[in-house]
Structure 1
Amino acid sequence: MPSKDRPLVDRHAPKNGIDGLMNTQEQRVCRFKNDMPTQQAQWVEVETRSVTDSGQPVIRRLLRHNAIEAWETMQKSGGWKRCSPRW
């Protein structure tokens, strides 16, 4: 995968990597943000919310390698395009 297509959480793992994906069909946006690393693992906070309303966001904490896999799967599944985080 070319470096420009890799998520910031992969390219800049220990820093303030924040990146986002948007699905215009579902009107949803997803933010990937590095979370506090521990000695055992590096974590990524994944927040998904609707673009159209101010409903409750869904926030999950994933291990870094699982977040990278989710990022790649979302882009391959169609509809999800890279965007700047909106919040």
Structure 2
Amino acid sequence: MPNKDRPQVERHPPKNGVGWLLNDQQGKVCSFTNANPTSHAQWVIVEPRPLRGGGQPVIRRMLRHNAIEALETMQKSGGWKRCQPRW
């Protein structure tokens, strides 16, 4: 099968609720990263930032299942797509 016909697969696919999203229309990027788990729950840090530097990031800690829901909702709402890490 020629290379152009092979599906593009990420070398290290992101885990659920962890990854990066990019919105070109709004000029923003958002990272979802694992935080230190506690004995009761797994946490994810959500950090949206402007693409062109400047501005303070708004860092939020979310439960893993809420972060997965937020990531999926952002992708379905339009404009947000997965991307490579930005910082």
- Identify the TM-score tier after normalising by the shorter chain: 0.7 to 0.9
Answer yes or no: is the 8 Å Cα contact 1:29–1:49 preserved in 2.
yes
* TM score, norm. by length of structure 2: 0.80
Give me the CA root mean square deviation.
1.8
Number of the residue aligned with 2:81: 81
Number of the residue aligned with 2:32: 32
Per mean C-alpha deviation after superposition, the further-off stretch among 49-58 and 20-29 is: 49-58
Deviation for aligned residue 1:70: 0.1
Deviation for aligned residue 1:9: 4.1
4+ runs deviating over 3 angstroms: none
* Stretches of structure 1 lacking an aligned partner (at least 5 in a row): 12-17
Number of the residue aligned with 1:69: 69
Count of aligned pairs between the two proteins:
76
Equivalent residues in 2 for 1:8-47, closer than 5 Å: 8-10=14-16, 18-47=18-47
Amino acid at match of 1:40: H
Instruction: Give the share of equivalent positions with the same residue, in percent.
Output: 62
Answer yes or no: is the 8 Å Cα contact 1:47–1:59 preserved in 2.
yes
* TM score, norm. by length of structure 1: 0.80
Deviation for aligned residue 1:53: 3.1
Query: Which has the larger strand fraction?
Result: 1
Amino acid at match of 1:8: P
Aligned-partner Cα distance in 2 for 1:52–1:10? 27
Deviation for aligned residue 1:8: 2.6
Judging changes above 3 Å, is the alpha-carbon distance between structure 1 residues 59 and 9 closer, same or farther for their aligned structure 2 residues?
A: farther
Query: Which has the larger helix fraction?
Result: 1
Q: Which structure has the larger Rg?
A: 2
Amino acid at match of 1:54: G
